[in-house]
């Protein structure tokens, strides 16, 4: 077995079995995936190893509404390493009520091509 390959471990999120997945790879170059009980596990391991992505749900400050926070989400997945920077960027925003569900709050967030949208109506107080 070559020295240059490394072992990376992931916990499968497909079902409660929670397979312990092992990826043998050199950086993004995968040699073998082990430990999965079904196809979803193998696909998940490859995705997590090469390009992990997440939907982000958080809140932004809102003035004049029935609540002082508005829940928002990314309308698609973004790279995992942009999750925290995106939340930081959203902390700097301040918007005003009223807001409708689905209304864009931030377009092309961190140049990901993904929008951040409101996930509820927030009427004026």
- Site residues, another protein (CB under 8 A): 10-18, 37, 54-55, 57-59, 61, 66-69, 71, 73, 80, 83-84, 87, 91, 101, 119-121
Pairing outcome for strands 104-106 and 116-118: antiparallel
CB of 93 to another protein, least distance (A): 14
C-beta of 88: minimal distance to another protein in Å? 9
> What is the closest distance, in whole angstroms, from the C-beta atom of residue 1 to another protein in the complex?
27
Burial class (CB in 10 A: 0-12, 13-18, 19+), 59: middle
Count of residues for the chain? Answer: 125
């Amino acid at each position: 077995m070559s020295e240059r390959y490394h072992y990376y471990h992931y916990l499968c999120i497909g079902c409660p079995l929670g397979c312990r997945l092992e990826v043998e790879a050199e950086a993004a170059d995968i040699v073998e995936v082990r430990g999965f009980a079904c196809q979803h596990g193998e696909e998940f391991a490859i995705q997590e190893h090469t390009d992990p992505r997440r939907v982000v749900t958080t809140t932004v400050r809102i003035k004049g509404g029935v609540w002082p926070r508005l829940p928002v989400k990314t309308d698609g997945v973004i790279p995992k390493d942009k999750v925290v920077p995106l939340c930081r960027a959203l902390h700097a925003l301040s918007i005003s009520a009223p807001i409708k569900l689905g209304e864009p709050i931030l377009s092309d967030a961190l140049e990901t091509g993904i929008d951040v949208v409101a996930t509820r109506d927030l009427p004026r107080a």
